[in-house]
Amino acid sequence: MAETKGENVDWVSEELQDWQHAIYHMDDSNWVLHPPLNKGREAMAYLTFIVDHYHNLPEIMVFLHPHLMGWPQAWHTDSPDYSNVDSVRSLRLDYVREHGYANMRCLHIPGCPDEVRPFRNDPARAYELAFADAYTYLFGGNHSTVPHTIGAACCSQFAVSKDQVQARPRTDYVRYQKWLIDTELPDDVSGRVMEYTWHMIFGKGPIWCPDHTQCWCDQFGRC
């Protein structure tokens, strides 16, 4: 989890006592857990955790925003009352073990089925304009290997298994982190690029948009 000054994350230790937690203070280097640089929004915290703990990861990890619940601050949390606590408590861990990766949001809007079209050339969508170059840096290849359409439910909250993380070498995550550190893109743009890259990093195809009712049932037992 990434936190900035003024955000109250006491709910993590109070309401999710069965989980270990790692909260990165993005704008305070005096805290024990802080990223090498406050860039790329939550992606920098997520990658810092993976890079630093790659050889000693827990069996299952959930990467979350610092919002507890409620509209509008937690609008993207796909659970009753937009509650992250409810979302984590209802997560079916066997699903994560079996499938490796689970987006914590099942609702398709925004994100599915085609949020990112790297070659659309729309000046109003800066993250699309940046996506092709970012993709080739992150995954290798050239513009001919960049998917023409990328889609996944937003918003950078997901669960992933240790085995799925370690399906890639640590050097991959170091490279992703280096891209965030070195890029001249604004934080909102680099963070958005990563938002629509996580599902591919963790083994899914460019378009990962399971039916939302089936997703609710399979991942959260809301059948």
Q: In this predicted structure, which of 43-47, 51-55, 111-115, 121-125 has the lowest mean pLDDT?
A: 121-125
Whole-prediction pTM: 0.95
For residue 31, what pLDDT band results from cuts at 50, 70 and 90?
Answer: confident
Residue for token digits 């914590």?
Answer: 104
Residue 62 φ then ψ, to 5°: -120, 125
The number of helices, as runs of H, and strands, as runs of E, in the chain is 10, 7
Stretch 46-67: mean pLDDT? 97
For residue 18, what pLDDT band results from cuts at 50, 70 and 90?
Answer: very high
Q: What is the pLDDT of residue 70?
A: 76
Stretch 32-55: mean pLDDT? 95
Is 28's pLDDT higher than 90?
no
The number of beta carbons lying within 10 Å of the beta carbon of residue 60 is: 18
Is 29's pLDDT higher than 90?
no
Is 40's pLDDT higher than 90?
yes
Is 79's pLDDT higher than 90?
no
The number of beta carbons lying within 10 Å of the beta carbon of residue 108 is: 18
Is 73's pLDDT higher than 80?
no
Output the CA–CA distances (angstroms, integers) from residue 217 to 64, 78, 106, in the order listed: 21, 13, 10
- Summarised one tens digit per residue, pLDDT across range 139-170 is 999 999 999 999 999 999 999 999 999 999 99
Contact 148, 117 (CB under 8 A): yes
Output the CA–CA distances (angstroms, integers) from residue 20 to 17, 85, 184, in the order listed: 7, 14, 34
Stretch 79-92: mean pLDDT? 93
Is 87's pLDDT higher than 90?
yes
Contacts of 176 (CB under 8 A, 6+ apart): 47, 138, 194, 201
Average pLDDT across the chain, whole number: 95
Is 213's pLDDT higher than 90?
yes
Q: What is the pLDDT of residue 22?
A: 96
The tokens describing 185, both together, are 């893109």
